[in-house]
Amino acid sequence: MSSTTVAEFAKELKKSNDTLLDQLKAAGVSKSSADDALTEGDKQKLLSHLQAAHGTATGERKKITLVKKIDQRNQASRCHRQSAHDSSGSAQKANLRQA
């Protein structure tokens, strides 16, 4: 089993060595330098800590719904275009019935 150093893992995660060392310390993994080796157990402990800290430890994802805001001018313009489209469609149908 190959061992990864803190520096290599930090580079893989696109984080600074200091940031990763701080996160490892918070997770209860005692590493003091970027040259220290990380085991799979250390990585798992860090992952569990980060998931618990961010509320995803249960594996349950919260549903996020995005709502698009429409400014009033755009909404009025859309309503006007829609009603113009509807009325022109009605006029065309009336013309077809008369023919």
Q: What is the pTM of this model?
A: 0.54
Residue 61 in domain = no
Q: Alpha-carbon distance 17 to 51, whole Å?
A: 20
66 or 98, greater pLDDT? 66
List, for residues 24-52, the tens digit of each pLDDT value. Answer: 999 999 999 999 999 999 999 999 988 88
36 near 5, Cβ under 8 Å? yes
- Structural domain including 9 reads 4-53
Could you tell me if residue 27 is inside a domain?
yes
Confirm whether 59 is domain-assigned: no
Domain-located, residue 65: no
Residue 92 lies in a domain: yes
Residue 84 located in a structural domain: yes
Let me know whether 48 and 11 are in one domain.
yes
- For tokens 């023919």, the residue is 99
Q: How many domains does the chain have?
A: 2
